[in-house]
Amino acid sequence: MTESHLRLTPKESDILGLKRKLDLAKGIIEKGGRPSIVRSVCQISKASALQFHKEIHGHGPKAGLLPYDPDWITKSPENCLHASIYFNIFQKISRNTTACKGEIYLAAYTLYEQTLMDKPKILNINRAWHIGQQISMSYLCGMTCSRCHSTYVAIREFPDPYKFCPLCDATSDSTGRQKWKQLHTRPRIHRTKRKKKSHIETSLNKDDL
């Protein structure tokens, strides 16, 4: 990247140090991070975030609000699986570093990308930030599967039918798309036929009246 003409206010440059902050913002923006997230993570002004985005990508960011779905992990096993990979990486780094939250966020997403290698990255860096926020608010929790013993992410306040393991509770339809088993395979209700009363039972019931 060419020399940046980004101008930060004295307050902005005092938070993490200018170079540390720019390195963090640069890493997030290069991976597709929206300026609103860069502002939140790096504590820089809107003008600075927009200018930095333009310097890196050569154009301004997409217009519109940042897409957000708090229940995204429950929509499919793949969503839950990718969120769980990021969740486990995020938790492990958090326990073994003194880095700031923003640096943990970027490092965790970088390791997520490296873990998947050439496979599709269903979780983008913007959604990863939302997951990090949900972890901090205890909206998400880690669950341990009793079958495969993997740790997967779930929404703490959701009922058990929405806390399935993305490895053990997933199935594929005819198109190869993954779905939750339990949401599409419901137990049938077996209704027992009412047995006709015998003449003796009928007479006994009449005697009881």
Q: What is the pTM of this model?
A: 0.77
Q: How confident is the model over 85-140, as pLDDT tens digits? A: 999 999 999 998 888 899 999 999 999 999 999 899 999 999 999 999 999 999 99
Cα distance between residue 115 and residue 89, in whole Å = 10
List Cα–Cα distances, 157 to 71, 96, 105, 111, 201, in angstroms.
11, 28, 24, 28, 51
Cβ contacts of residue 105 below 8 Å, gap of 6+? 28, 41, 90, 128, 129, 132
Q: Are residues 29 and 97 in the same domain?
A: no
Q: Are residues 105 and 40 in the same domain?
A: no
Q: Are residues 14 and 40 in the same domain?
A: yes
Cα dihedral across residues 117, 118, 122, 125: positive or negative: positive
Beta bridge mates, 144 = 151
Q: Are residues 153 and 178 in the same domain?
A: yes
Total count of residues recorded for the chain = 209
Q: How confident is the model over 134-173, as pLDDT tens digits? A: 999 999 999 999 999 999 999 999 887 678 999 999 998 8
Q: Which residues constitute the domain of residue 113?
A: 72-183
HSE, CB side, 13 Å, CA atoms: give it for residue 196: 2
The tally of domains found in the chain comes to 2
Q: Is residue 158 part of a domain?
A: yes
